Amino acid sequence: MPRQRILTAIIIAPIALAGVFGLSEFGFSLFIGAVLLVSAWEWANLGGLDGIFRYLYAACCGLLLVGMSYLPPVPLLTLSLVWWLVALVLVISYPGCRNILRHTSLVLIMGLFVLLPAWVAMLELKRDIDGNYLILLLFFIIWGADIGAYFIGRAFGKSRLAPRVSPGKSWAGFMGGVMVAVIVFVLMSLWNGYPPLYSIEGLIVLLLCVALAKVSVLGDLTISMFKRNRDIKDSSHLLPGHGGFLDRIDSLLSAAPMLALYLLVWGW
């Protein structure tokens, strides 16, 4: 399984980077939209749908994605952050909230708050003059936090972060992931030349990157909670060794709206 996981990652990472750097804004929107439609198909399973109904849910999400193009992004992204606060409460209270998560209609509605804002967020990041750099920074923070959490958690993790949702995660791993995210920011800042590390702007973006790392963990835990509630290990088996698309983009779903909202409100 580890070898299969590594081989799949070797294939996925270049495709993701090519989607960022090699596509026009329109092509990028189609690329991200396709990923999210597959994720919607997987989410339908988390909601208890099967057969043709999973495809119908994904199709409805596709229509809503188109509709999102005509709505102002700031209110949508703000609403997304409200949703992730709700998700935090659900994760902390799980399994006490299982009665809520047993309602298929509620879970399907929650899926819209998880998936749709991420599409808006990624498009807003791509439209920025520094869009490619910002998306790359987001990817590296998420990947760095995940890698740091894995290795530091294995070495020092004793106290569990959310044992009823994801028993493998520890507080040590969580803090290790945040530290790696800080290192990623410092390296990216030195490479890009902005923001200057010893400046107010540098401090603000540093705090933003720390927040992104923390929120990315919430995305991971939230998807894990829904999978545990459905009593499944992976959202699908489309990616050998990795599970499904949701299993790979869970952190991005929560972190991207925060970065995009910061960009739209305060600028870069």
The distance from CA 36 to its chain's CA centroid, rounded to whole angstroms, is: 11
Beta bridge partners of 69: none
Please give the pLDDT value at position 212. Answer: 96
Q: For all residues of the chain together, what is the average pLDDT?
A: 90
- What proportion of the chain, given as a percentage, has pLDDT over 70? 95
Question: Mean pLDDT, to the nearest integer, of 68-73?
Answer: 90
User: pTM of the prediction?
Assistant: 0.91
- Cβ atoms of residues 125 and 131 within 8 Å: yes
Please give the pLDDT value at position 114. Answer: 96
Q: Which of 250, 242, 184 is nearest to 12 (CA)?
A: 242
Which is more confident, 49 or 2?
49
Read off the pLDDT of residues 224-246 as tens digits, 9 standing for 90 and up: 999 999 988 888 877 766 678 99
- Tokens 């910061």: give the residue: 262
CA–CA gap between residue 261 and residue 72 (Å, rounded): 12
Band of the pLDDT at 1, cuts 50, 70, 90? very low
pLDDT higher than threshold 60 for residue 2: no
Pairing of strands 166-170, 160-162: antiparallel
Read off the pLDDT of residues 134-165 as tens digits, 9 standing for 90 and up: 999 999 999 899 889 988 988 887 888 988 99
Calculate ∠ Cα 176-180-183, nearest 5°. 145
Contacts by 80-89 with C-beta closer than 8 Å and gap 24+? Answer: 80/113, 80/117, 80/121, 80/257, 80/261, 81/257, 81/258, 81/261, 83/110, 83/113, 83/114, 83/117, 84/215, 84/218, 84/219, 84/222, 84/254, 84/257, 87/218, 87/222, 87/254, 88/218
- Tokens 């949508």: give the residue: 76
